[in-house]
Amino acid sequence: MCRAFVIIGTVFTALAVWTLAAAIRPLRLLADLRNPVTHDPRCSVDVNGVRRSYLLHVPPLAGANAHAPLVLVFHGGGGHDWNMPGFTHFDDLADRQGFFVAYPDSTNTHWNDGRGESDADDVGFVRALIAHVAHSHPIDSRRIYATGISNGGFFSNRLACDLTDQIAAIVSIAAPMPKPLDSTCQPSRPISVMYIQGTDDPLVPINGGKVGFASGRGRGENISLDASARFWCKVDRISSPPEIANIPDVINDGTHVQRKTWVNGADHTEVIVYTIDGGGHAWPGAAQYLPKRIVGKASQNLDATRTIWNFFKTKSMPKN
Domain that holds residue 145: 2-312
Region of poorest pLDDT, from 62-71, 98-107, 127-136, 301-310:
62-71
* Residue 25 pLDDT exceeds 50: no
Buried b (16+ CB within 10 A) or exposed e, 253-275: eebbbebbebeebeeebbbbbbb
* Residue 320 pLDDT exceeds 80: no
Predicted pLDDT at 22: 35
Return d(Cα 65, Cα 26) in angstroms, integer: 45
Task: Encode pLDDT of 138-167 as tens digits.
Answer: 999 999 999 999 999 999 999 999 999 999
Q: Is residue 11 one of the residues assigned to a domain?
A: yes
Task: Encode pLDDT of 71-113 as tens digits.
Answer: 999 999 999 999 999 999 999 999 999 999 999 999 999 999 9
61 sits in the region (left: phi over 0; alpha: psi -120 to 50; else beta) called alpha
Q: Is residue 318 one of the residues assigned to a domain?
A: no
Q: Is residue 83 one of the residues assigned to a domain?
A: yes
Nearest one of 99, 74, 104 to 88, comparing CA atoms: 74
Q: Is residue 319 one of the residues assigned to a domain?
A: no
Instruction: Look at the pTM and tell me if it is higher than 0.75.
Output: yes
Could you give the number of structural domains in the chain?
1
* Mean pLDDT across 307-311: 98
Q: Is residue 42 one of the residues assigned to a domain?
A: yes
Task: Encode pLDDT of 28-68 as tens digits.
Answer: 333 333 344 568 999 999 999 999 999 999 998 766 667 99
- Tell me the CATH number at 16: 3.40.50.1820
Q: Is residue 174 one of the residues assigned to a domain?
A: yes
Number of C-beta neighbours around residue 60 at 10 A: 8
Nearest one of 242, 289, 231 to 264, comparing CA atoms: 242
Buried b (16+ CB within 10 A) or exposed e, 307-317: bbbebbeebbb
* Mean pLDDT across 225-249: 98
